[in-house]
Amino acid sequence: DVKVTQSSRYLVKRTGEKVFLECVQDMDHENMFWYRQDPGLGLRLIYFSYDVKMKEKGDIPEGYSVSREKKERFSLILESASTNQTSMYLCASSPAGRGAHSYGYTFGSGTRLTVV
């Protein structure tokens, strides 16, 4: 069974901490994505990566950075966590080319992050 695994289901961090959210996929997908999900706003794209060490900003990259050192792993980094970053974070992956267009994404189960 193919999977996207997010390391934590729930996380509580203090304001100002550096936070790492980890995502691993076992499908050899080229593309990986980080979204945040907030009530009434749906899912918004933070960053995505189309290859190892390659990344592009999404719609709301401010306050975040990412790292992709290996194809299967995509990390989201909150450099200095703030209370307005309290949210659900979803990681996803997709194959390149027509695979993405045809089958959409495979999602992880999400990390609910609370910044206090």
Residue 104 contacts other proteins per CB under 8 A: yes
Task: Pick the stretch among 18-26, 32-40, 61-69, 75-83 that binds other proteins (CB under 8 A).
Answer: 32-40
Residue 48 bridge partners (DSSP): 33, 56
3-state secondary structure of 115: strand
Beta bridge partners of 24: 5, 73
Of the residues 41, 79, 80, 116, which one makes contact with other proteins according to CB under 8 A: 41
**Which residue among 1, 42, 69, 83 contacts other proteins (CB under 8 A)?**
42
Q: Of 70, 103, 114, 116, which one interacts with other proteins (CB under 8 A)?
A: 103
Q: What is the distance between the alpha carbons of residues 107 and 91, in angstroms, rounded to a whole number?
A: 6
Binder among 27, 45, 60, 77 for other proteins (CB under 8 A)? 45
Q: Are strands 111-115 and 54-57 parallel, antiparallel or unpaired?
A: unpaired
- Other Cβ atoms within 10 Å of 110 Cβ, number: 18
- Asked whether position 16 contacts other proteins by CB under 8 A, the answer is no
